[in-house]
Amino acid sequence: MCDRLQQQAKQSKETRKQPQSGNRCSSHPSVPVLGHVTVQSLPSAPNRGERVTFGGYGSGTGQFMYPSGVAVSEEGEIFVADLRNQRIQVLTLKGTFVRQFPTVVSGQEIEPYNVAMDGETNLWVVGNTETAGFAVQYHKQGRVLRKFEVQKTGWDRGVAVNTRKNHILITQTTGDWPSLQGEVQVFKPDGTLVRTVGQQQGMKRPWYITVDGEGNILVSDLCDHCVYVYNEDGQFLLKFGGEGSGEGQLLHPFGICTDRAGNIIVIDRRKSRVEMFDKTGRFLKHVTTGVKEPQAVAMATQGQLVMTSCREHTVTIFPNF
């Protein structure tokens, strides 16, 4: 149930640093060794290479505490929003640690919900301090370039960048369960609000968001069990999914991305699998991931799928599929 999975209590910073269930990512952590990397054949595509899983619960180098967002650069660097560790970790597609930097603005630590890359290989991170919500642009080495404040609502949010127009898109949920209202806010990099999208279609709980190569906006709504699609000017195009376990149906969709052909990849979290649709919303196939309750997803330039799990506190790299 959506209320059981996602209803959030307002908590102090000290309380939120402890592992919790039923909050953002649910479940108590297992604790693999530091920097643990496993390599397995991908069951659904045994002849296309091996998948690599790395991470594990903790605050050490290469470990994660709720990796809630992920982005991949053209050069193949993975940027992971390490939520409770309040940092961005950077790794290679083989799981090798490269660097990390704290998510801090004006001396306050940010819990980063999500991360996205802009057209100049800078990062946009969205998250909360104890008192406010922020969208922050970082150089990929971690230097703060600019920031603007967003409403702090108590709900997680996603971020994406329209590189064609240099717009920053941020999901927002307000209200309390079951009377939730969701929308996408479109900003200029200086924080000027351009428009809001999604209210007329009745968004409930948008979290993850992406922009395809044509500038179309794709949003997964985990309480409405669907994906909304808009053009880059905010005009509604289509909605697909619907609650269920059948082909083309979704059950708490989380992370979303597109491939170079414009196909839409959505994490079907409760079924621990990835669903693929074409750009019209037509179901193509699903892939069983072997990852417990996958969270965020991104597509690398060579077609690898990069997926996080907040239950297992890991990142998994899948080959082409």
| Least confident piece of the model among 36-45, 150-159, 279-288 | 36-45
What is the pLDDT, as a whole number, of residue 21?
32
Which sign does the torsion angle of CA 258, 253, 315, 172 carry?
positive
- CA angle 249-52-264, nearest 5°? 30
What are residue 136's DSSP bridge partners? 125, 147
Total residue count of the chain as it appears in this document: 321
Q: How many CB atoms lie within 10 A of CB 17?
A: 15
Mean pLDDT, rounded, for 107-111: 94
Q: Do residues 247 and 288 touch, judged by C-beta distance below 8 A? A: no
What is the pLDDT, as a whole number, of residue 50?
83
For residue 177, name the pLDDT band (cuts at 50, 70, 90): confident
Grouping H, G, I as helix, E, B as strand and the rest as coil, residue 5 is helix
- Which of 76-85, 242-251, 269-278 tops mean pLDDT? 76-85
- Per-residue DSSP letter, 197: E
**Buried b / exposed e across 208-220, counting CB within 10 Å, b at 16+?**
bbbbbeeebbbbb
Tens of pLDDT, residue by residue over 39-69, are 443 333 333 468 899 999 999 999 999 999 9
Grouping H, G, I as helix, E, B as strand and the rest as coil, residue 52 is strand
Q: Do residues 241 and 282 touch, judged by C-beta distance below 8 A? A: no
DSSP per-residue letters across 203-236: ---EEEEEE-TT--EEEEETTTTEEEEE-TT--E
Q: How many CB atoms lie within 10 A of CB 32?
A: 19
Query: With the CA atoms of 108, 114, 119 and 121 taken in that order, what torsion angle do they form, in degrees rounded to the nearest 10?
Result: 60
Query: With the CA atoms of 210, 151, 167 and 199 taken in that order, what torsion angle do they form, in degrees rounded to the nearest 10?
Result: 60
Instruction: Tell me how far apart the alpha carbons of residues 251 and 212 are, in angstroms, rounded to a whole number.
Output: 23
301 or 281, which is more confident: 281
Residues whose CB falls within 8 Å of the CB of residue 186, separated by 6 or more in sequence, listed in order: 162, 167, 168, 169, 193, 194, 195, 196, 197, 234
* Lookup result for tokens 């080959």: 319
Mean pLDDT, rounded, for 270-281: 93
